[in-house]
Amino acid sequence: MTSAAIQTTLLDGLREQIAHLENAGRRERSVLPFGVSQIDARLPGGGLAYGALHECAGGGAGTVDGATAALFAAGIAARAKGKIVWCLTRPDLFFPALAQAGLHPDRVVFVESDKEEDVLANMEEGLSYGGLGAVVGEVVRLPMAASRRLQLAAEKTGTMALAVRRWRRQTEASDFGQPTASTTRWRVSVIPSEELPVPGVGRARWLLELMRVKAGECAEFEVGACNAEGRIDIFPPAADRQDQTHRSRYSG
């Protein structure tokens, strides 16, 4: 092989390496915005990062809390393009509720396992496959080693990983405070629904807490639950709402 051919081969190899690094950089910078400026401003890049692991949990260990966390994850997955893989041990998801949060069951491939270890393994396999909108997994515990494997698998393909922490007993909820490799950690709690001018039940509302974010600061928001497009809306703080109500009653 001539020196010119060797140089050409080396240059081609360097070009491939540069292209690989550029593609990896684009995946790292790719985000899924919430579309709510107050929330996106708290997240590096202006949204939830693709190619990363994100955690969410309810504010307690009850069924309602677990369902709230699942709906929050469903709203995120609904706005991601492509099929969604949802790994779980308990087939207790209510399909109409997922559809109301924007995630239609025909987009979801449900993978049921007997053990949580299998849920984590299935999540990793789904992330490694690539080409998916997101991979969701319902788990009680998320050890650092397991979370690190999920984070690395997500980084390789640019797929978003969502770990929904669901507990059967209050004592299990303490595991949520343990360190993991997740990029963000969220807690979602139910608060009184939106007030209506007539008798009835208004839109569900959540207290959304951003408990951890890499290269960012924690925050909390009062939001309207996911709509049919998987989107949440910000609500003004309770004190501001009371002040607005007071002014409307006594103005004029």
φ and ψ at residue 165, rounded to 5 degrees: -85, 110
Quick check: is 160 in a domain? Answer: yes
Query: Is residue 24's pLDDT more than 50?
Result: no
* HSE, side-chain direction, 13 A CA sphere, residue 33: 9
- Residue 165 in any domain: the answer is yes
Give tens-digit pLDDT for 63-108. 777 899 999 999 999 999 999 999 999 888 888 999 999 999 899 9
Looking at the domain assignment, is residue 9 inside a domain?
no
Distance CA 194, CA 222 (A): 11
Domain count, the chain: 1
Provide the pairing of β-strand 205-213 with 219-224.
antiparallel
Q: Which two tokens stand for residue 94?
A: 């209510």
What confidence tier does 252 reach under pLDDT thresholds 50, 70, 90?
very low
* Spatial distance between the Cα atoms of 42 and 215, rounded to a whole number of angstroms: 10
Q: Give the whole-angstrom CA distance, residue 82 versus residue 105.
A: 13
pLDDT single digits (tens) 136-163: 999 999 999 999 999 999 999 999 999 9
Asked, for residue 19, whether it belongs to a domain, the answer is: no
**CATH number of the domain to which 208 belongs:** 3.40.50.300
Per the structure, the complete domain to which residue 179 belongs is given by 31-237
pTM: 0.80
Give mean pLDDT, residues 161-169.
Answer: 87
Say whether pLDDT at 44 is over 90. yes
Residue 20, domain member (yes or no): no
Say if 1 falls within a structural domain: no
* Residue 36 backbone phi and psi in degrees, to 5: -120, 110
Domain-embedded: residue 169: yes
Q: What is the pLDDT of residue 60?
A: 74
DSSP-assigned beta bridge partners for residue 163: 55, 137
Q: Considering the domain boundaries, does residue 142 fall inside one? A: yes
* 15: pLDDT strictly greater than 70: no
**Residue 247, pLDDT above cutoff 60:** no
Q: Nearest to residue 136, comparing CAs of 126, 145, 146?
A: 126
User: How long a stretch of residues is the chain?
Assistant: 252
